[in-house]
Structure 1
Amino acid sequence: MMNSPAAPNVARTGALADVAVLMPAYNGQADVERTLASFAENALIYALIVDDGSTPPIVAPDVPGMQIEVLRMAKNGGIERALEAGIEALAARGFRYAARIDAGDLTVPERLAKQRARMEAEPKLAALGTWTQVVNRAGAPLFMLRPAADASTLRKTRMLRSPLVHPSVMLRIDAVLEVGNYRVQYPAAEDLDLFLRLMERYDCANLPELGLYYELNEGGISATKRRRQIVSTLRLQMRYLNVLNWRDWAGIAKNLLHFVTPYGALQKVKRALFARA
């Protein structure tokens, strides 16, 4: 499945000693370097890049204040398998928290410290995201994503809109493993699959503040695997449907509408809806 040496001796000092950044990557060396360079914390940061069969292979950049390891998958198997392997590797290295980010996205200063402090204070939290500024490839702002902050509201609206912005999330690793880790059963919707399983046993929430700049990439999963993502999301919506919750039905209708809405038109609608939200 992967080509990696035994777990190395990882520096475990400082306020973030039990936190690891988890980034899957397929090619895009420059995006990897730019994303990791955006982290700014008052402690040493450990980052695990899961190289999903890149050609040429991803090389760990030299980033001040950061210790970086590259875990190489034997071949390109998709983000679901890369994240599954990454969580297993971090558990083997003794980390408690995995802070997700994708190559090309940028984080805000002290995001990790804020998320860790909240999760330490609330042991029932298994996933904690942040509000997210969506930008284009040039970095220009497009719209803001402000998912609900509290766990109760997220449970009610989880089918109507994405409960957490995946690359902004910090995960409690033991909880992720307890519910079965990332899976391949729902291609391109591996994040929603995980969040729904976590919500059955734990809480998920969001910090109501900006934590991530998400780059809208026309070549990304949401664009190139859109139909697969919609089908996977519909399967999850039917699997977890609460017939008494009108929001679940509205979420299904919304997802069906995505089938007949061109991707470009959908992005324009999102900009209009979220520009002032």
Structure 2
Amino acid sequence: MTLTAVDTPPHCLEDVAVLMPAYNGQADVDLTLASFNESALVHVLIVDDGSTPPIVAPTLANLQIEVLRMPQNGGIERALQTGIDALAQRGFRYAARIDAGDRSVPQRLAKQRAYMEAHPQVAGLGMWTQVVTRAGKPLFMLTPPAEPAAIRRLRFFRSCLAHPSMMLRIDAVRAVGNYRATYPSAEDLDLFVRLMERHDCANLPELGLYYELNEGGISATRRRRQVLSTLRLQLRYFNVANPYDWFGLAKNLLHLVTPYRALQRVKRSLLAPRASH
């Protein structure tokens, strides 16, 4: 099934498409897409990054799904770049990111689109994120700042934009060079920094995504590569007048020498909700 975007009233989602790269994990794909609950038809583009067997589009009410198959596994950076270009060719204005295994909250797409229509200077819009185990048990909430100025200031000190929660303005993404593999496993931060040179990025300060903490995911299995790419980005865009750039540099150097599981334990202990007394 081929996706096509047309001009529609503001309450519809005809110019929005969910962009989900996938490599194997059919069950996770099905779970994620089943979580979308919107008042309008939801368009979805799955970029199958060389899965074996190939990803199959599930049949779900109120979703129109296309699978774009890559000839071989080329990595998430290439899959996302291909997906953005494909959505632009189909006439979509907004790409709503999500990863297989994560779940959307009801009306997420409508809320994000309404905000971006009202704020044309915003090229990327995230939402607060509940981090959960693969079994769905809540671990901690990610509640980054909402305002563009705070996000710019803290961009290298903390994760201000949860990639799978983002809605992106497709023309802006392509104008700054699209996703790229220059900073492996940190393709999201690389894109956000380039977007913020010309536009704003913001967050809706409400829950928009349930993010599955997958010990086999990129953050775990390619962690050293991710931290090194982040450090390279920090040095490339370092602002000596911003104290949070210095704090972020020190933080990522610490991440480079600290075991992944130890960092996760610290994060859970700091961010997990405290029981009331």
The C-alpha deviation readout for 1:31-89, integer Å capped at 9, x for no partner, is 00000000000000000000000000000100100000000011000000000000000
Counterpart of 1:148 in structure 2 is 145
Q: Secondary structure at the match of 1:210?
A: strand
Q: TM-score, normalised by structure 1?
A: 0.96
Instruction: Please provide the CA RMSD for this pair.
Output: 1.3
Q: How many residues align?
A: 271
- The residue type paired with residue 134 of structure 1 is V
Stretches (4+) displaced over 2 A: 7-14
Which of 178, 182, 186 aligns to 1:185? It is 182
TM-score when normalising by structure 2: 0.96
Structure-2 residue corresponding to 1:236: 233
How far apart in 2 are the matches of 1:9 and 1:68? 8
Structure 2 regions of 5+ residues with no counterpart? Answer: none
Secondary structure, counterpart of 1:191 in structure 2:
helix
Change (3 A) 1:231 1:11: closer
CA offset digits 1:168-204 (Å, max 9, x no partner): 0000000000000000000000000000000000000
SS in 1 for 2:239: coil
* Correspondent of 1:266 among 259, 263, 268: 263
Displacement of 1:10 after TM fit? 2.5
Q: How far apart are residue 276 of structure 1 and its match?
A: 4.1
Query: SS at 1:233's partner residue?
Result: helix
1:58 aligns with 2:61: no
SS at match of 2:215: coil
Residue 135 (structure 2) pairs with residue 138 (structure 1)? yes
Please state how far the C-alpha of 1:8 moved relative to its aligned partner: 3.4
Q: What is the identity, as a one-letter code, of the residue corresponding to 1:165?
A: A
Q: Measure the CA separation in 2 of the matches of 1:55 and 1:67.
A: 23
Deviations 1:80-107 (A, max 9, x none): 0000000000000000000000000000
- Residue in structure 2 matching 1:162, options 136, 159, 179: 159
| Aligned-residue offset at 1:28 | 0.2
Could you tell me the percent identity over the aligned residues? Answer: 72
Residue in 1 that maps onto 2:99: 102
1:85 is aligned to 2:79: no
SS in 1 for 2:151: helix
Whether 2:5 is the aligned partner of 1:8: answer: no
Aligned-pair CA distance for 1:241: 0.3
Cα distance in 2 between the residues matched to 1:121 and 1:233:
32
Q: Is the 8 A contact 2:5 2:91 kept in 1?
A: no
Equivalent in the alignment of 2:15: 18
